[in-house]
Structure 1
């Protein structure tokens, strides 16, 4: 990454990036900066000349970043709507190359595009890879003393920084023990997940199974398969009980 002498990693982004709000194009650049400011994934920073600054008005609010200092905030106006303090700039940032750049609140914008494909949740990190491999390993899942899944045909998903996930055909699950959940979570690499809870051993285990009915194109190999949360189930692989991993989902 560039600017490695600074506490905040900064890197030139190779993709065209656009942000929309209120039906209007707010920012459009082929020279974004990827900045790992305060999370494990980056944020996009736009050169001012690639931002429709006429749609930004000083908000009168301030904000402070431990890494980048004091921020000047802007309201974003588009289509008769206002997103308050949804853009900001760090004029005194320790990374000089960031001082004239603008960052937008991801969730406050209506849509984001990398090239001509819409992107959800947050920018995709160039350092995250997702591999999905067919396997013949024997995978069993036990909850409340009940075997709720038993498969010899899983697909293993390897995602940088996360535990291996074992996706199985639904015919290999005790679907009679699964309870539909209203929970849904988005992922920029895989798509939108739908969840089940499991009723086993006189107990209900909430939201421990998920599936991607229509995953992102790069993850189509797990479409319709079901995966259990390793962190909250007893997972046996080839007869060996796996240690429950420590992860952000533990």
Structure 2
């Protein structure tokens, strides 16, 4: 997709980036650019840079050279803006709070609601979880996720995984593999043990991808949705 076709808009937050303890940029007019459908990237006006950037995008911070740290745009609607590689910087701040992984989408909302609905999770007819006390997470653009207390899982089917993932809305997740009848399903169940403040209601609860299991909610089988997490 060409830059002319990318959806973009000016954001209202103050955004700063740091590398090796030095301020790289400080902007109150960040440009949100949707390079992919699911979340935006921050672009920074060159006037808001605080450290020099070579024409090739090399950044020097506290004597440390960071190759290909950024891309300069010189043509089209993004001319005059710089797009930093996320992992080229050590810290990103919105106002005075750190952000992780990527910017939050201003058009995405996360609602977390406790429920008393009866939820059963099955795979090929085998029950993996059974609860009357789920917590339901509704996230814009994704299926509702049912978070389940760990005692209500078939824990004997789970093997800890070393995989972790980062969500800018919820925090760091850890995973379990599912092992059933000699078959292993990698990273099949996840849990946010210490989620960000706004997602504390799911702390210590476990969830499954609706796309990969059968969900019975109050006796009704939910259709398996299509999403970026579908097989």
**TM-score clears 0.5:** yes
Distance in 2, matches of 1:199 and 1:43, equals 38
Pairing partner for 2:99 from 119, 124, 136: 119
| Deviation of the 1:199 alpha carbon | 1.8
Report whether the alignment pairs 1:21 with 2:19: yes
Which residue of the partner structure matches residue 164 of structure 2? 184
- The 5 Å alignment of 1:161-172 reads 161-172=141-152
SS at match of 2:201: helix
Distance in 2, matches of 1:209 and 1:28, equals 39
| Deviation of the 1:86 alpha carbon | 1.5
Gaps of 5+ in 2: none
Distance in 1, matches of 2:6 and 2:124, equals 45
Which residue of the partner structure matches residue 219 of structure 1? 199
Aligned residues: 227
Provide Cα deviations, 1:33-67, integer angstroms capped at 9, x if missing partner: 1111344311111122210242x1222xxxxxxxx
Distance in 2, matches of 1:103 and 1:233, equals 39
Report the more deviating stretch, 209-218 or 192-201: 192-201
| Deviation of the 1:79 alpha carbon | 2.4
Pairing partner for 1:175 from 134, 148, 155: 155
Which residue of the partner structure matches residue 112 of structure 2? 132
Pairing partner for 1:87 from 65, 70, 76: 70
Which residue of the partner structure matches residue 239 of structure 1? 219
| Deviation of the 1:162 alpha carbon | 0.7
**CA-based RMSD:** 1.4
Pairing partner for 1:42 from 36, 40, 43: 40
SS at match of 1:232: coil
TM-score in terms of structure 2 length: 0.93
Which residue of the partner structure matches residue 66 of structure 1? none
SS at match of 2:66: strand
Contact 2:17 2:23 in 1 (8 A): yes
Distance in 1, matches of 2:151 and 2:99, equals 32
Judging changes above 3 Å, is the alpha-carbon distance between structure 1 residues 200 and 38 closer, same or farther for their aligned structure 2 residues?
A: closer
Report whether the alignment pairs 1:160 with 2:158: no
| Deviation of the 1:198 alpha carbon | 1.5
| Deviation of the 1:200 alpha carbon | 2.2
Distance in 2, matches of 1:174 and 1:144, equals 15
